[in-house]
């Protein structure tokens, strides 16, 4: 798998700088200096920290050049408000100040300033410091993308691109405790491809893999945004349906069963009809007191569906359903 580098991505994207200073003359000078080296494609300006923070909330900004002493909201207050929000914590903010004392710089750095430029500033120094911050931001952005990719890979089944079993169990535990706490319904469906071993034995494992991937697409297309689908193992899949009572879960399972039955899988299976069997269980119920018992009830319902002739939906057995 090849991953594009952050610097490559940035060349194809708009880069925006926000210049905050109460002097329009200085804002114009800064804009002229950075525009001459084509570091940014978009320029935003603000006359004080408050206006600057509003523009930050309403625009995607890659770097901020901010004066320290301004009316209404100074640079220190702007820094504290910016770093208080998670989405801005890694945003480079270069402070512009006429003060050269050590205490001012220490205070600014402690509040999250990325760098300082003392006024009156040298154009070459300003550009150099901006370049350094933009390079560091590109590296940070690439690291975030890489970490997110690694996280996605760690929770995803590589064949079906559904969640894997480990992540499923984490989500089931989370949703079960949430349902117990809030009193909502949580349904779980275990489905299994009927006679899947015959597919592998007759047509080969490559054709079997295509069936699994196709079934995953059918499942993914039919779930709501907050539902969770995972490959549980082999030809078994699990659907986790928050805020879904047993009757609604049965309807979802039945629709899925019919769609698989009517689906043309193509390839060497063009003239074959494949079916699935499904078991459905729901919490709360008198026979479900834990995640383990929720799985057990769904698994027993799936077993009854298999014993009953396959290509069918069976529900958990409970006196209160």
Around 182, how many Cα atoms within 13 Å sit in the side-chain half-sphere? 11
Question: How far is it, in rounded angstroms, from Cα 40 to Cα 19?
Answer: 12
Q: Is 235 a catalytic residue?
A: yes
Per DSSP bridges, beta strands 186-193 and 93-97 are unpaired
Residues 6+ apart with CB under 8 A from 235: 192, 193, 196, 212
Which residue among the candidates 69, 235, 259, 314 is catalytic per the annotation?
A: 235
Residue 30 burial (CB count, 10 A)? 25
The torsion of the CA quartet 149, 155, 157, 161, rounded to 10 degrees, works out to -60
Whole-Å CA distances, 313 to 199, 247, 320: 22, 12, 19
3-state helix, strand, coil in the chain (%, to 5): 50, 20, 30
In the sheet where 228-233 sits, what is the strand order? 228-233, 236-242, 186-193, 276-283, 313-315
Angle between helices 75-83 and 49-58 (to 10 degrees): 30
**Residue in the structure block whose two tokens are 């699994």:** 212
Q: Token pair 């079997």 is at which residue?
A: 208
**CA–CA separation, 243 and 186 (whole Å):** 5
Dihedral sign from CA coordinates of 39, 44, 48, 49 = negative
Angstrom distance (rounded) from CA 172 to CA 181: 14
Q: Which residues are catalytic?
A: 235
């Amino acid at each position: 798998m090849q991953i594009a580098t952050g610097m490559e991505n940035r060349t194809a994207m708009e880069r925006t700088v926000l210049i905050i200073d109460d002097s329009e003359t200085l804002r114009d000078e800064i804009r002229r200096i950075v525009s001459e080296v084509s570091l940014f494609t978009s320029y935003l300006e603000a006359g004080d920290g408050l206006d600057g923070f509003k523009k930050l909330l309403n625009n995607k900004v890659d770097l901020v050049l901010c004066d320290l002493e301004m009316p209404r909201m100074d640079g220190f207050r702007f820094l504290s408000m910016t770093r208080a929000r998670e989405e801005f914590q890694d945003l480079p903010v270069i402070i512009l100040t006429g003060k050269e004392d050590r205490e001012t710089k220490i205070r600014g750095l402690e509040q999250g300033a990325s760098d300082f430029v003392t006024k009156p500033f040298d154009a070459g120094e300003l550009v150099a410091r901006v370049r350094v911050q933009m390079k560091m931001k590109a590296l940070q952005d690439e690291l975030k993308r890489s970490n997110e990719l690694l996280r996605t890979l760690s929770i995803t089944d590589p064949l079906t691109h559904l969640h894997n079993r480990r992540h499923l169990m984490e989500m089931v535990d989370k949703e079960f405790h949430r349902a117990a706490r809030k009193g909502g319904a949580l349904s779980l469906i275990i489905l299994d491809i009927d006679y899947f071993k015959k597919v592998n034995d007759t047509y080969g494992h490559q054709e079997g893999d295509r069936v699994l991937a196709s079934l995953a697409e059918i499942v993914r297309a039919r779930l709501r945004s907050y539902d969770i689908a995972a490959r549980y193992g082999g030809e078994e899949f699990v659907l986790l349906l928050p805020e879904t009572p047993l009757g609604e879960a049965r309807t979802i399972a039945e629709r899925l069963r019919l769609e698989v039955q009517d689906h043309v899988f193509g390839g060497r299976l063009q003239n074959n009809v494949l079916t699935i069997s499904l078991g459905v269980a729901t919490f709360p119920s008198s026979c479900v007191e834990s995640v383990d018992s929720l799985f057990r009830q769904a698994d027993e319902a799936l077993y009854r569906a298999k014993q009953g002739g396959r290509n069918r939906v069976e529900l958990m057995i409970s006196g209160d359903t």
